[in-house]
Structure 1
């Protein structure tokens, strides 16, 4: 274990899981850091759409503060930012470009970026869109932590000129996602995710069409922002928003669950979503669209099922109960062995403070 670290994170949100995957990702990571003995201050820009949907207004595993003015926040926390072992800016932070510029002008021990949307970020930069990070800012960071691994890291260093790119996948808070194999199965196949245009064709092929062809089975889609024009089959239940506290029960109530990857993430590969780890932790067998790198995390046909189309899903839904349980159990074993919040916290701490030689070199 590294020495206890003091980390400041400026992220999109920790307090609200509404319509985003950032909150649950940060919660698992920071809880893991807390369990490892590290100190974290999380600074979140107050936004009205999250203010009305806060399901964790006062986290007990870190210091937490909302702010409504960037300059006032930097002034108030200037001392802490300068003495912290690392200051980490997350993707999609409001006024992110201005914030990164201001932090880069301060004397910080480590300035890092945690991109929970790496393929989306890179696609936006390719198109000249710089909503929360500018292309010129990528080389400013001591470490660019990426939601995506594999070849994406090479691209960040060789093309985007990142000084150092490290994979920091999403993770799961294992204690919040127990397996309940005896739970009643309310649905044969379910999906949890906010609507996006690029995911919808895959959702249609891998869930809605199977539902149309198997009216005897039960399906569910949970998540906000789905447009009114979608033609939901009568055997597909809709849940508008599902707070994290209900995720484990949701997964445990499914025979199978679906993972759907955004187009930019499929193209780049090595981009597992937080929902993938949550479902696997519950030992719910996962059916996923294919993307490069998925076999590095969960072996196909052993710990996950890869579906290229509707027929693959229909065949999977007819698997025997022992086979279904074996796939779910293998997925859970893999995730608990290396993809918990505490495991990810150790990876982050090791990247920031590699070992005794670093302490000796600094004299601290």
Structure 2
């Protein structure tokens, strides 16, 4: 395998974050891999109105090829072109023709290249495999050269190995400091606590507990809700909703409120070791983060000093009640220093290279604490 790779990536979307929470993860990794000399082509479907809601134009760090899910010949052409790649990646959650792609990318193996599955929602994938013995992906897992996941730690690695994975390597979310950084405050996002996330079935109950319950308990405080799907949700009077917030506004969103809230999805919280992309984005902007507590948090940020962790809505309310501007600023600055030192996408790109055996020096570097969990 050459030191500088041609990488073909089949995934949801690089250019649109619309109903696509993995967009900034893909962008950060693609930018970092490109900076290290690799060339990436991102094959994404024209689906779910994502192309109509692009956040960015085609970026300089990756070639974007859009295929039509209603015209099989367009996908055939993408697969034919991807055969030349040194690394072919099928990501989970493309949203259309996932089962077909899981099988067809394996047909692209040839001497000298590798085919990887990149799971951006490992808990959901593993739950699917465990509950359905007839799922065709079960027989395909051992055929992939390796599985990357964007979180999960030891529980996810062990589960994938039980399904026959040759190797499973977590590549955690991270910060791209060129896109997420401190900016001036924006009056549109003024609040004491802000939460940004789409309305999803396996997170809504936790949003009720960690966001709406504290709002109801603190009627004198201002709460801000962003993300798609919340229009029909009944909210306390002190909660203001904004709808979809594009990535161009995420820095101002993170820099303006007193604190921002992270709420994990049910499956991510159960598995632990799964920091959301927005945790690192907010930390990179210097935000004071309040998060639901989950196993492994301390490997990424230190509770009490770099992040405030809460086990329920009452603890969120208590954390907010004890927070002033000076303390919020200290926590945000400490979080930013930590992620800049340990949790950038360049560090994650090193991890990808090491997993692929590229460069003896890179492969031999000592992993960070969060990476050692899954060694």
Please, what TM-score do these two structures have when normalized by structure 1? 0.90
Distance 1:357 1:312 in 2: 45
The residue that corresponds to 2:37 in the other structure is: 37
Give per-residue Cα distances to partners, 1:200-244, cap 9 Å, x unaligned: 22222222122222222111110001251x221122111110111
More displaced stretch, 202-211 vs 274-283: 202-211
Corresponding position: 1:112 with 2:116: yes
Shift of 1:280: 1.0
The residue that corresponds to 1:82 in the other structure is: 83
Distance 2:236 2:164 in 1: 48
Asked whether the 8 Å contact 2:142–2:165 carries over to 1, the reply is: yes
Please, what TM-score do these two structures have when normalized by structure 2? 0.87
1:236 to 239, 242, 252: 239
The residue that corresponds to 1:73 in the other structure is: 75
Q: Which runs of 5+ in 2 are unaligned?
A: 363-375
Residue 165 to residue 263, structure 1, CA distance change in 2 (3 Å): same
Shift of 1:356: 4.6
Asked whether the 8 Å contact 1:298–1:304 carries over to 2, the reply is: yes
Corresponding position: 1:101 with 2:103: yes
Residue 72 to residue 211, structure 1, CA distance change in 2 (3 Å): closer
The residue that corresponds to 2:370 in the other structure is: none
The root-mean-square deviation of aligned C-alpha atoms, in Å, is 2.4
Correspondences of 1:69-218 after superposition (within 5 Å): 69-75=71-77, 78=80, 80-93=81-94, 94-108=96-110, 109-128=113-132, 134-180=137-183, 186-218=190-222
Give per-residue Cα distances to partners, 1:275-317, cap 9 Å, x unaligned: 1111111111111111111111111111111111233122211
Give per-residue Cα distances to partners, 1:154-173, cap 9 Å, x unaligned: 32343111100001112222
Give per-residue Cα distances to partners, 1:228-280, cap 9 Å, x unaligned: 1x221122111110111110110101111111111111111111110111111
Task: Indicate the structure whose relative CO is greater, using CA pairs within 8 Å and at least 6 residues apart.
Answer: 1
Asked whether the 8 Å contact 1:139–1:160 carries over to 2, the reply is: yes
The residue that corresponds to 2:253 in the other structure is: 250
More displaced stretch, 287-296 vs 334-343: 334-343
Give per-residue Cα distances to partners, 1:320-343, cap 9 Å, x unaligned: 433222211121112112222222
The SS at the match of 1:144 is strand
Aligned residues: 355
Give per-residue Cα distances to partners, 1:87-136, cap 9 Å, x unaligned: 111111221221222221233411001111111111122232999x7222
Distance 2:86 2:221 in 1: 53
